[in-house]
Structure 1
Amino acid sequence: MTDLAGIDGLAAVAGDYDAIFCDVWGVVHDGEKKSASAEAALAAARQVGCKVILLTNSPRPAEGVARQLDTLGVTRAAYDGIVTSGDVTRALIAKAGRKLFHLGPARDVDLFAGLDITLVPADEAEAVVCTGLVNDEVETPEDYSGMLAQFKARSLPMICANPDVVVHRGDRIIFCAGALARDYAAFGGEVRMAGKPYRPIYEEACLMAELGPDEKVLAIGDGLNTDIRGANGFGLDALLIVGGIHGAELDDAGGEAKPLEALLAAQDLKARYFMPALA
């Protein structure tokens, strides 16, 4: 096992890789403003021959994420393509039955575009597709415990289009679909997912980047159980952004490699590099 190493900038290692799979929320932006340093680092990596694929657990299709990045002012010179959890979850949705209940905000409805399904009330559904809390600014997963119990009583499978449990939106913590999926699984409900850390999203990213079997990929992210666990499971080197969603937890390592390596190992995780924020 190669020791964990701190780096000052992506440029120090980008030349060693054929492609970069980079997380979006928490690395490229925080939901309200972009990271200019991350944008510049990714654009520079492309200039030295790296293909940059943005890999996000957003439940929205790639086109919607690209529009959000445009709105935040992220240049398209910073990436070659986008693969979302929503993109790869559509295959699960297509197999789930014709009558589905959408649990989530109306803004995510484009996830279902072009699929041969009908969105129905919960009591008519054959399965549930969860894209998030309906109003994630004020609601918590506890608000859904009664609904989840009803789903379990009917043995409805839940397709979770965003495995993330929480994200930062500015300086606030926002619950995601993954929190409801976690709670549904705790009820004993069946949960299906395809985003990070699961293989389908990585397989799709490899296809988009047109990677051969011997080409090297660096996965970048701040989520331990999504970005880093997914990279480990798919056999990719990982660059952990320690100032992201797990900042408080990882702060105990004091920015030092050995304590951080031990913290990761305690969760059966490893990373090749780390830095406070992508630059």
Structure 2
Amino acid sequence: MTQIITTLAEISDRYDALFCDLWGCVHDGLTPFAEAIAAMQTFRLKGGTVMLVTNAPRPHEPVRRQLESIGVPEDAYDGIATSGDSARAAMFRGAVGENVYFIGQPQDQVFFSPLELIENPVTITQVPVEEADGIICCGPFDSLADLEVMRPQFLLAKNKGLKLLCANPDIVVDRGDTREWCAGALAQLYTELGGESLYFGKPHPPIYDLARRRLDALGKSIPDHRILCVGDGVLTDIDGALGEELDSLFITGGLAARETKTENQPDPTALEAYLANEMMQPTYSIGKLR
């Protein structure tokens, strides 16, 4: 049974590092959460390390610039590991071929910027689906549109045996008060149609391997039992933590606020019913990071 806590400080002395989700935990896509920022800063002041682990389908540097632009201070975290980082490495190693059909928005073109860490990277060319060896999906062309608009292209791609590289396994995200589709929803649809989707963000292992490497690069050799995963997605953050055998803190006031009846804190009965239905059991739960 999950333990409901009221502040991170109640348990922070048990951990040396946080693998902290961004959207829904630290900000809502538009505005930072002041209490979350303060909790992260306090954790760092006491000697902890905060690694932001996000399913953003972009390299970590553009994510850092985005955080700066919306007012997330740099003293709230130590590093960033993104799904985009992991997926880009796979793409430049040729995971879905060299001629790719790209699904995403104009700002996602940064996904194709050179990655110097890969030896002998393949040359990636964006082509129509009819000419493609594989698919790169950073998200829908229109995050508010019905996903079924992609069915014709997906059926063609499936019949050609194309693999889809999903740069963001999230199904939805809340931008302010608006819920938007993410790349994970398209990958799910492609899989349902019989295609093969490849994932590199939470809850899949590559992004956790990357986060650990980023800790090592900071000179922080932290054992798994001293790492706490923080997030509002049970199918990404919490499932990923369970798969990595890491403790987790479920932020109930994010994607599952309605189901857990969270205002300031979750309703215990609603929370247990929700977790039982999802077959997940986070170590701890809290209404919001603070």
Instruction: With the length of structure 1 as denominator, give the TM-score of the two structures.
Output: 0.94
Q: Please give the residue correspondences for 1:1-279 in structure 2 after superposition, counting only pairs within 5 Å.
A: 3-94=1-92, 95=94, 96-114=96-114, 116-136=123-143, 138-210=144-216, 211-213=221-223, 215-251=225-261, 255-257=266-268, 260-279=271-290
In the alignment, residue 33 of structure 1 is paired with which amino acid?
T
Would you say the 8 A contact 1:240–1:275 is kept in 2? yes
Inter-partner Cα distance in structure 2 for 1:82 and 1:207: 11
- Which segments of 5 or more consecutive residues in structure 2 lack a partner in the other structure? 115-120
SS of 1:46 mapped into structure 2? helix
* Aligned-partner SS, 2:28: coil
Task: State how far apart, in whole Å, the 2-side matches of 1:160 and 1:65 are.
Answer: 18
- Alignment deviations for residues 169-219 of structure 1 (CA, whole Å, 9 cap, x no partner): 110110000010000000010000010000110111111112344651110
Letter in 1 for 2:23: W
- Please give the alpha-carbon distance, in whole angstroms, between the structure 2 residues aligned to 1:146 and 1:266: 33
Q: Check whether the contact 1:5–1:257 (CA below 8 A) recurs between aligned residues.
A: no
What do the CA deviations read for 1:28-76 (whole angstroms, capped 9, x no partner)? 1111111111111111111111110001000011001101100010000
1:96-115 deviations in whole A, cap 9, x for unaligned? 21111111111111111115
The SS at the match of 1:249 is coil
Structure 1 position 135, deviation (Å): 2.1
1:123 alignment partner, SS class: helix
Aligned to 1:184, the other structure's residue is in SS state helix
Query: In structure 2, what residue type is equivalent to 1:107?
Result: Q
2:118 corresponding residue in structure 1:
none
Inter-partner Cα distance in structure 1 for 2:256 and 2:225: 30
DSSP 3-state at the match of 2:261: helix
Letter of the structure 2 residue corresponding to residue 127 of structure 1: G
Structure-2 separation of matches of 1:7 and 1:48: 19
Distance 1:171 1:274 in 2: 23
SS, match of residue 110 in structure 1: helix
Compute the displacement of 1:256 (Å): 4.3
Deviation at 1:259, TM superposition (A): 5.2
Q: Do the aligned partners of 1:17 and 1:218 also contact (CA within 8 Å) in 2?
A: yes
* Contact 1:61 1:110 (8 Å CA) reproduced: yes
User: Any conservation in 1 of the 2:260–2:267 contact (CA below 8 Å)?
Assistant: no
Aligned equivalents of 1:275, 1:199: Cα separation in 2: 25
Cα 1:274–1:215 change in 2 (3 A) is: closer
In 2, Cα distance between equivalents of 1:209 and 1:257: 34
- Give secondary structure in 1 for the equivalent of 2:258: helix
Asked whether the equivalents of residues 15 and 49 of structure 1 are also in contact (C-alpha less than 8 Å), the reply is no
Contact 2:19 2:229 in 1 (8 A): yes
Give structure 1 stretches of 5+ with no counterpart: none
Residue type of the partner of 2:42? A
SS at match of 2:32: coil
What's the % identity of the aligned pairs? 41
CA distance in 2, matches of 1:214, 1:85: 20
Q: Please, what TM-score do these two structures have when normalized by structure 2?
A: 0.90
